[in-house]
Amino acid sequence: MFVCICKGVREKQIRREVQRGATTFEELQMSLDVGICCGQCEETAKALIDETLDQERALDAMTHCQYQQA
Domains of the chain (ranges, CATH numbers): 2-69 (1.10.10.1100)
pLDDT digits (tens, 9 = 90+) for 10-38: 999 999 999 999 999 999 999 999 999 99
Whole-number pLDDT of residue 68: 59
Whole-number pLDDT of residue 63: 73
pLDDT cut 90: percent of the chain above it: 79
Is the sign of the CA dihedral 35, 36, 39, 40 positive or negative?
negative
Q: How many CB atoms lie within 10 A of CB 6?
A: 15
* More confidently predicted of 65 and 60: 60
Q: How many CB atoms lie within 10 A of CB 67?
A: 8
Q: Are 47 and 33 in contact (CB under 8 A)?
A: no
